Every structure is written in C-alpha cells, then in structure tokens.
Amino acid sequence: MEKTIHINCDLGEGGQFDEKLMPLVSACNIACGGHAGNLESMHRTVRLAMEHDVEIGAHPSYPDRENFGRKHVEMDEEDLRLSIEGQVLSLKQIAESEGGKLSHVKLHGALYNDAAKDERIAENIIKCLEDLDADFKLFVPLNSKISELAYGKFDLYFEAFADRNYNPDFSLVSRQENNALITEKEAVFEHVFRMYNDKKIRTISGAEIEAKADTFCLHSDTPSSAEILHYLHKKFAEKGIGVKNS
C-alpha cells in the first residue's frame, strides 16, 4: 500500500489493553510519572513498543495523579519546567537503556489543552524542551499557541483526535459534556477518514473547519478502543491505506 495513515495512542497509563493496542498503532505516548506511570511501567511499555516497531514518545503532564492530569494546576513556571524535564528525561533514559530512542513528546490532558491556548504556558514548555537539547518531534494540537511558537524550533506533527468531538474554534468538547467522546467504531472511522481524506473536521455545530493533521490519536481508555482500531485497520485497508508501521 502506497498511502499510509499515522495513528498514535496514549499507553503505559495503567490500562488493561496495552498489549492489544500496541501492535495496531504507529506511535505510543508513554505516561512518565506525572498523571500515571512509574519506572516499571515505562520499561515495560518501551519494550512492548520496540517489539512491535512503534515510535516511542514521552507523555508528560501536570504532576496530578489524583485527577489523571485532566485538570489545570496552577504552578510556578520553574516548577512546571522541572516537572516536565524530569518526566521527559526519565522516559528518554529508559528508552535508551532498552536499546530504543525517544521519537517524540506529546503533552497530556489539561497541560496539552492549556498549551494550546495560553501563550505563557506554551512558551515555558517550549523553553524547557529546547533546553533538553534532544532530537525529537513535538506532537501539537491544530491551530494552537504551542504550534505557532514552536514552529521552526521542532519538527512538528499536527495531531487530530479520532475519538473526540471538536468545537468550531478547534478546541475539544469538554469531557464534562456527554458528547465529548466518539465511541462507535463506524462514527470514529467516518470522523477520521473525513480529516484524513478531505482535510476537514465536522464540529458539533455541524460546521466544517479546515484540518491538516499528520497523526491521529485514539485514547486507550476509550471504550472498545482495540475493537475500534481493528475496524479502522480494516476500513482503511479497503481504501488502499495502511497504518504506518503495521
């Protein structure tokens, strides 16, 4: 197959289905101690990624396990930088100790959303990642502050979400709303194929917005995530499109 699609998934978060999901994705974003994860889970998930030739990414977040990193945490800039630095370096060192390499960094949860809209937070994160002086890609939201500020400083992969609904301003529908998630496999495929093929997102208002994404995320804790990924493989294959690395 000449055409490919790049799919990523957040793993190493304590979920039950990592072994089922890993062979089905192009890249994994591994929790590295902020919202979830520990040294043991990082080693285990890195080894699993290497076994299936999946790109290894660090998935840093606010240090807030109680809320799974999904709520804003007010932090001093230096404290936030030290936290992100510690999380990314921990995963990087573990990947290298297992004979692998850190491919990318993708922020998690509230930190991801905050960096998309808050210039101060985005600048602080970029400075922190630049100081690491490492060669990795940065996964960023579409139409975001962090993508604007990181342009030319990192190899950017623009990300769209396979299992989340969007507002017209490119923000994700809040998880507090009952229409935040897309969980039916047919609807997920329709959503992703529109973004991949037509370069458009159909928002909850019904309006379509332009979207040129390089990678598409399916969350490991979305109900029936493995079933959805198998279905995506099948439907994309029918259209002559393969999942990269699969």
* Element (DSSP H or E) covering residue 160: strand 155-161
Domain count, the chain: 1
**Tally of CA atoms within 13 A in the half-sphere of 58 that contains its CB:** 32
Query: Is residue 180 included in any domain, yes or no?
Result: no
Query: Is residue 17 included in any domain, yes or no?
Result: yes
Q: Distances in Å between the alpha carbon of 14 and those of 18, 31, 43, 72, 102?
A: 9, 9, 13, 21, 20
Looking at residue 53, which CATH number applies to its domain? 3.20.20.370
Query: Is residue 95 included in any domain, yes or no?
Result: yes
Query: Is residue 183 included in any domain, yes or no?
Result: no
Query: Is residue 169 included in any domain, yes or no?
Result: no
Query: Is residue 191 included in any domain, yes or no?
Result: no
Query: Is residue 177 included in any domain, yes or no?
Result: no
Torsion angle, alpha carbons of 140, 246, 10, 190, to 10: 70
Query: Is residue 175 included in any domain, yes or no?
Result: no
Would you write out the chain's pLDDT as a tens digit for each of its 246 residues?
Answer: 479 999 999 999 999 899 999 999 999 999 999 999 999 999 999 999 999 999 999 999 999 999 999 999 999 999 999 999 999 999 999 999 999 999 999 999 999 999 999 999 999 999 999 999 879 999 999 999 999 999 999 999 999 999 999 999 999 999 999 999 999 999 999 999 999 999 999 999 999 999 999 999 999 999 899 999 999 999 999 999 999 975
- List the domain range (segments joined by +) for residue 20: 3-164+214-243
